Structure 1
Amino acid sequence: MSLELFGHPFSSYTWKALIALYAAEVDFEFRIVDADHPENVAVVQSAGPLGKFPVLRDGENLLFEATTIIDYVSNHHTTSEMLIPADADAATGMRMLDRVFDNYVMAPMQNVVDEYLRAPENPDMARIGEARDRLERVYAWLEGWLQFYPPLDHVTLIECSAAPALFYADWVHPIAATFPRLRRWRTHLLRLPPVAQCVEDARPYRQNFPPGAPDRD
């Protein structure tokens, strides 16, 4: 049986796992999780405590959390060290940056989205402002970090985390011209073939982005 990934094409964390699978050229079946596929919803609900996707099914194994899925794919479904290196210190560095993108980019981006979901006509602009302030601070940190991280033409755990995080974060709080390295890197990430495929597959769902999707990317 081939691997199965359960998720949604518009989900940032589903992208994160998809990018790894595409980059590693792993055979898998994508199972969309939506109201039209209750059997897939049931698998996701059974996997983790909050029933969140993505979920990877490999035979009888069910794994949730995108970073865990990437670790598993790297360990069991590719002989390459591309996604996560075998060197312990290099892997630790990658995992640190993975947490930066999940906790400090994706999280405040989602805070903005959640506020528009909570009150579409009257979102709390103070909460949104706080989230955007956090994004501005991490943009500045990433701008400095990028002095030491050249754009790669292959995908590692860092690219898997950064691409969806920066794609959507820039929608809720555009990366200013004062962060030229970060702007260039986001553009580079979106051109990587595994990322570009996710962008295209998600395009039909853009009208569902709560704050409103920009007419770009």
Structure 2
Amino acid sequence: MSSTKDLLLFDHPVSSYAQKIRIALREKNLPFRSEIPVGGGIQSSPEFVETNPRREVPVLINGSDAIFDSTIILEYLEDLHPSPPLLPPASDPGARARGRMIEDVADTIYEAVNWVWGEVLWSGRAGDDEERNLLRKHIATQVCDQTEQLYTWFEDKLGEYDFFGGSHGFGYADLALIALVHRSIYYGFPPANGSKLMAWYDRCAARESVRVTLREFDENVAGMFKLKGFYRDGSGFRRQYRDHRMEAMVKLGGWEILRDGIRHENVKFSWPGQLGKQLGKL
């Protein structure tokens, strides 16, 4: 069995998926060292490149074990270090399933909505002219509306409990969701004052594992504005458009952004292959 004496986490402090793992490691009191992949992963450690064909964070290296995908990493940590638990016990399979379902909605639907606004705000994908200003406003309205719909759904799942683990306390769903809500607050789309979700956010933010992780986001988020123009003019690495993120970009009104990225070859799609070049004449 692998130990956890020298955990290496390839991540980025602004990545919501990576924040999830940082919080989990800190909840379990597992020391780790962090490394940010460079050059879109291309120039990074062979451990990172060989482990994850998608070249995305997070990736956890633990001896001979190399794991990518934040959900799989969470499950791995729970198997390897079950105490303190982040999932309800096996004797309550319904609660375990609810935690996983909430995490899935956070990872797929909510993260994608946040990501679209990050593409507009940080990467400058919508451009700067008057016509594109209307596009930015439209996308902002859609992001705000869908974020509020998600908040309503999450509040319903929270019920009257302090955490999404219900009587089992803080766990999978909470650590997956807290980074996303923090990002929404940063974007200017917070839960309503006095709402159950805002009270839940405050409780989570008071935990040491969460407080440290959110502080790391706050300390590094300003650097994301350096992306503006970096992807748009083709001088930088291409941004990866995949699964739920690409669907959200189209659904929220950003088809023109995706189309222009394909035309200018400053977006890419998931391994295997590079579909952007094949569709470059759209």
Matched, 1:202 2:206: no
Report the more deviating stretch, 131-140 or 168-177: 168-177
Code of the residue aligned with 1:15 in structure 2: it is Q
**Partner of residue 126 from structure 2, selected from 111, 115, 119:** 119
Residue 194 of structure 1: how far off its partner (Å): 0.3
CA-to-aligned-CA distance 1:2-25 (integer Å, 9 cap, x gap): 121111122211110010000001
Larger CA Rg, structure 1 vs 2: 2
Matched, 1:71 2:75: yes
* RMSD between superposed Cα atoms in Å: 2.5
Look up the match of 2:61.
Answer: 57
Q: Distance in 2 between matches of 1:44 and 1:93?
A: 32
| TM-score normalised by structure 1 residue count | 0.83
**Partner of residue 174 from structure 1, selected from 155, 180, 189:** 189
Matched, 1:106 2:111: yes
Q: State the SS of the aligned residue for 2:9.
A: strand
Matched, 1:159 2:174: yes
For structure 2, list consecutive stretches of 5 or more residues without a partner in the other structure: 226-282
Structure showing greater relative contact order (alpha-carbon pairs closer than 8 Å, 6 or more residues apart): 1
| TM-score normalised by structure 2 residue count | 0.66
Q: Distance in 2 between matches of 1:39 and 1:85?
A: 40
Q: Is the 8 A contact 2:162 2:169 kept in 1?
A: no
Code of the residue aligned with 1:68 in structure 2: it is I
For structure 1, list consecutive stretches of 5 or more residues without a partner in the other structure: 211-217
Residue 39 of structure 1: how far off its partner (Å): 6.3
Look up the match of 2:277.
Answer: none
Q: Distance in 2 between matches of 1:20 and 1:28?
A: 11
Q: Matched residues, percent identical?
A: 22
Code of the residue aligned with 1:96 in structure 2: it is M
Look up the match of 1:131.
Answer: 143
Residue 173 of structure 1: how far off its partner (Å): 4.3
Code of the residue aligned with 1:80 in structure 2: it is S
Code of the residue aligned with 1:95 in structure 2: it is R
**Partner of residue 86 from structure 2, selected from 83, 88, 94:** 83
Distance 1:29 1:73, change over 3 A: same
Q: Distance in 2 between matches of 1:41 and 1:114?
A: 27
